[in-house]
Chains A and B, each alone.
Chain A
Amino acid sequence: MRALAEDHSDLDHHSDLLVGPDQAPLLARPYYASGDPGPIVAALAQVPELLETAMPFLGAALGPSGIDWRTKEIVIVRTSALAGCRYCVQAHTVVALDAGLSLDEVRALRTDIAVADAFTDPRELALLDWVDVVAGSGPVTDDARAAVRRRWAGHEVVELTALVGATLLLNRFATALALPTGPDTTARLATEGLS
């Protein structure tokens, strides 16, 4: 897959904005070394200097850190569901299940059922309230900030809030570019009844 050379307006409306392995730019090649890097990398590879700057940030924000995997996936799936990002919800539904969340918990995060029907831990409920506020379009009130601070340390609130922001960035990126869900993810969702 290559960028159109003759008519850039065509490129802007082209359905396929992803760089295939045969055209992976030099700085992007490490991301293709293990096979298909996924559509986020394949899109960012169009701008290699952006890819190699963005990926460490996204890895730090969404990847392993001082906050446990389950908690991070709660934030990612919930934020993506509120943002209406089909790609991110589907991809991270699978990751959330792998992280140990139950089917009902994932359904609740995806807004299919009420949060209160799946979550009971006060800390997680406080976090979900915070995510709903941060990922929403309304004001972030002092009361909302105080509520999450009662259950979470300051550095945790900072990191989790950054995680919401990074997820929203990816949500809009994936939605705007109509990134395709991978066949493995689609098959797993079907198996779990979460298509």
Chain B
Amino acid sequence: MTASTVDGPIAGAVAEGTLPGRVWMYANYHCNIACVYCLTESGPRVAPRVLDAQAMLDVARQAAELGFTDLGVTGGEIFLRPEMPDLLAEISRHLPVIALTNATLFQRRLLDRIDVLAGLPVALQISLDRPDADANDAMRAPDNFAKVVAAIPELVARGISVRIATTVESIDDVELDRLCALHRGLGVPDEDHVIRPIVARGRAIDHGLGVGAVVTDLPAELTITADGAFWSPFGPTVHGGLLDTDLLITRTTAPLSVPAKALLRLVEGQPRGADSALNIR
């Protein structure tokens, strides 16, 4: 099924550009590292809050049926889930996938299992913030830089599509040039390098980092988690161990049409609630 063969309000809105085409899934919230700007306060000791495999497959299938065009999978560190390579392969049968990873777990055993993604429409988006290990690792974790620059060529050599995401408060031209030279040398071209700001949610707040973002600042990319559906992958953030609900759309995530239609209604500026004047308290 392709978007051009799908009818319905979601497909129409995606085709018109009213609604972004990508649906995100938070596969889990736990992580082997604890970055200082992490939106979700992920780390080794947090609750995994796993979106189970069947739920992810259902989201992928229904997203295609509704007329979405792409999928994103994020966490937490998604490759802490042993089934993730096969799961990504499976969901990519429905729509192309971008999967976010810190790329620190790609030892031989995982690299062997990730071969299943070669040639599939799955891109691994790997975090790499600075061209120097000390500066990079200060924001992420010890040895992060070394593990990432070791993993990327291994993945590229296996025919896996790799993107680089740089998340920074600011970066000067010289440092950026060095970073770009680095990723080119690792086999990742400029068009697969994205630079994005730190958003002041989650752990970033505690470190005084990031830019404030309100709903109108964030693309309305439907984001499915174990706790509900959110406006954006920047929505289901955690601060002080508590889930933020300010960008929650619905707790209902299945069928996917429920949050998708609610999101479309919000995007079109037609939220219900005129009955709030009824003074039911």
Chain A contacts to B: CB under 8 angstroms: 2-7, 19, 22-31, 33-34, 37-41, 45-50, 52, 55-56, 58-59, 62-64, 91, 182
Interface contact B244-A27, CB-CB below 8 Å = no
Bound-state CA distance A50–B228 (Å) is 13
Bound-state CA distance A45–B246 (Å) is 10
Interface contact A49-B262, CB-CB below 8 Å = yes
Interface contact A56-B251, CB-CB below 8 Å = no
Pick the contact of A48: B46, B241, B248 (CB < 8 A). Answer: B248
B233 nearest CB across to chain A (Å): 15
- Residues from chain B with a CB closer than 8 A to the CB of A46 are 245, 251
Q: Please give me the residue from chain A that is nearest to B49 by CB atom.
A: A5
User: If A34-B276, A59-B280 touch, does A7 touch B271 (CB 8 Å cutoff)?
Assistant: no
- Residues from chain B with a CB closer than 8 A to the CB of A49 are 250-252, 258, 262
Task: Give 1 or 0 for each of B227-261: 1 = CB within 8 Å of chain A CB.
Answer: 10001000000111111111111111000001000
Tally the A-B contacts, defined by beta carbons under 8 Å: 114
User: If A25-B249, A41-B280, A59-B280 touch, does A4 touch B243 (CB 8 Å cutoff)?
Assistant: yes
- Residues from chain B with a CB closer than 8 A to the CB of A56 are 272, 275
Interface contact B248-A25, CB-CB below 8 Å = yes
Bound-state CA distance A38–B240 (Å) is 25
Instruction: Please give 7 more A-B residue pairs, beta carbons under 8 A apart, in addition to A22-B246, A182-B281.
Output: A23-B244, A41-B276, A41-B281, A48-B262, A55-B276, A55-B278, A56-B272
Shortest 4 CB-CB contacts between residues of A and residues of B: A30-B273, A38-B281, A59-B278, A2-B242
Interface contact A3-B246, CB-CB below 8 Å = no
Interface contact B243-A30, CB-CB below 8 Å = no
- Residues from chain A with a CB closer than 8 A to the CB of B281 are 37-41, 91, 182
Bound-state CA distance A185–B243 (Å) is 31
Chain B contacts to A: CB under 8 angstroms: 29, 46-47, 49, 215, 227, 231, 238-252, 258, 262, 266, 271-281
Interface contact B245-A7, CB-CB below 8 Å = no
User: If A22-B246, A25-B248 touch, does A30 touch B274 (CB 8 Å cutoff)?
Assistant: yes
- Residues from chain A with a CB closer than 8 A to the CB of B249 are 25-27, 48
Pick the contact of B280: A7, A19, A58 (CB < 8 A). Answer: A58
- Residues from chain B with a CB closer than 8 A to the CB of A59 are 275, 278, 280
Bound-state CA distance A58–B276 (Å) is 11
Contacts A/B (CB < 8 Å), 7 sampled: A5-B238, A27-B250, A31-B276, A33-B273, A34-B277, A37-B276, A40-B281
- Residues from chain B with a CB closer than 8 A to the CB of A45 are 245
Interface contact B280-A62, CB-CB below 8 Å = yes
Q: Please give me the residue from chain A that is nearest to B274 by CB atom.
A: A30
Interface contact B276-A5, CB-CB below 8 Å = no
Bound-state CA distance A30–B272 (Å) is 8
Interface contact A48-B280, CB-CB below 8 Å = no
Interface contact A33-B29, CB-CB below 8 Å = no
Interface contact B245-A31, CB-CB below 8 Å = no
Interface contact A48-B244, CB-CB below 8 Å = no
Pick the contact of A3: B231, B242, B252, B258 (CB < 8 A). Answer: B242
- Residues from chain B with a CB closer than 8 A to the CB of A47 are 250-251
Interface contact B243-A3, CB-CB below 8 Å = yes
Bound-state CA distance A37–B242 (Å) is 22
Interface contact A5-B271, CB-CB below 8 Å = no
Bound-state CA distance A58–B245 (Å) is 24
Interface contact B241-A26, CB-CB below 8 Å = no
Q: Please give me the residue from chain B that is nearest to A91 by CB atom.
A: B281
- Residues from chain B with a CB closer than 8 A to the CB of A64 are 278
Interface contact B276-A6, CB-CB below 8 Å = no
Q: Please give me the residue from chain A that is nearest to B40 by CB atom.
A: A5
User: If A26-B231, A27-B266, A41-B280 touch, does A6 touch B251 (CB 8 Å cutoff)?
Assistant: no
Interface contact B262-A27, CB-CB below 8 Å = yes
Interface contact A27-B47, CB-CB below 8 Å = no
Among A2, A7, A62: residue with most chain B CB under 10 A: A2
Bound-state CA distance A22–B239 (Å) is 13
Among A31, A40, A62: residue with most chain B CB under 10 A: A31
